[in-house]
Amino acid sequence: MRKVHELRWNPLLGCWIIVAGHRARRPWRPEEKKRICPFCPGAPETKDEGEWDVLVLPNKYPALSLDAEEPNMKDEFYRHGRAVGVCEVVVETPIHEGDLCDLSLDHMKKVIDAYTDEYEKLGKLREVKYVVIFRNKGKEIGVSLTHPHSQIYALPFIPPRIAVELKNFRRFMEEKGSCLLCTIIEKERRENKRLIYENDGFVCLLPFFAMWPYEVHVYPKRHVTSLSELSNEERLQLADALRIITGTYNNLFDRDMPYIMVIHQRPTDGEEYPYYHMHIEFYPPYREKDKLKYAAGIEWGTWTFTYDGVPEEKAKELRMACLKFLSKVDKHLGRCVS
């Protein structure tokens, strides 16, 4: 395979694409081939780390690199760019199996602390404009390694979905004089139709405008633009919220639920974004216990999602699963909203 590692500009959508040919060689679910898990204690990637609870490692097959070369192909029409940036893996626990809900509250708080530290560290790099923290879980999502872990990409550009959010948050602030997400939180708590769980610092809900059947958003009640602005107590409350939502998912169908989790926060390009409100979004791919929600022609081709079901009814199912999980979880800081 020809070595190509660069950014390519999509002129139709006005966004960058990362081309990383070397990633085609990364391993696929090595535990199924009886190979050593690279994230378990004693593996080559972790053997020199001593004892640890949460470990941040460089991605062995990074899509971005701080020493990325200039593209070697010149074109007068198509734009190229250096695939400059950082890719990291946050190994959340030494234990090979499990989910965020299987961590203790204090341990999950250490994961949040690691997220925050890396956001601040990587965001200071001159080349980095946005730090995205995300978690892929399950073979249905395409996860290549099952050991519990998250990923961090420090990007040299603001990704298009975040750019759209920033535009809409700013417009709402200019037109209404208030934060868009603060307004949504107030409305959702007042109507109490789609709320799932809340504690003193965070509210978890299935949004009115959900695209995935069991999509859940986690919103800080206080107006903050990034993890860095959370107090130590709020980080603990966020750890609680993420434990409860992942436990809710696993109790929804009495099965290990796959999902994508993405943290949305302000860019790190040196600009001020006081109108933005950080939040976390979950996208699980199932619409029923044994039926996947496939993004098909209308979704991929036009970005117009069809919601399979009624959000308020799906929220009721999630609340029941949340109550079920709370009855057996060791410790929690909030309540399932009924």
Helices 105-123 & 232-252, crossing angle to 10 degrees?
120
Residue 15 corresponds to which amino acid?
A: C
Structure tokens given for 112: 């949040």
Q: Which two tokens stand for residue 57?
A: 């490692």
What is the four-CA torsion angle of 21, 62, 286, 165, rounded to 10 degrees? -100
Q: Would you tell me how many other CB atoms lie within 10 Å of the CB of residue 23?
A: 15
217 classed as catalytic: no
Which structure tokens are listed for 175?
């037109």
Calculate the alpha carbon distances from 295 to 21, 37, 56, 132, 286 in Å. Answer: 25, 31, 32, 23, 11
The active-site residue out of 147, 149, 217, 277 is 149
Dihedral in degrees, nearest 10, Cα atoms 234, 159, 187, 209 = -130
On the 0-12 / 13-18 / 19+ scale of CB atoms within 10 A, 286 is buried
Instruction: Please give the full DSSP string across 92-157, using - where no structure is assigned.
Output: --SSSS--GGGS-HHHHHHHHHHHHHHHHHHHTSTT-SEEEEEEEESGGGT-S--SSEEEEEEESS
Residues carrying an active site annotation: 149
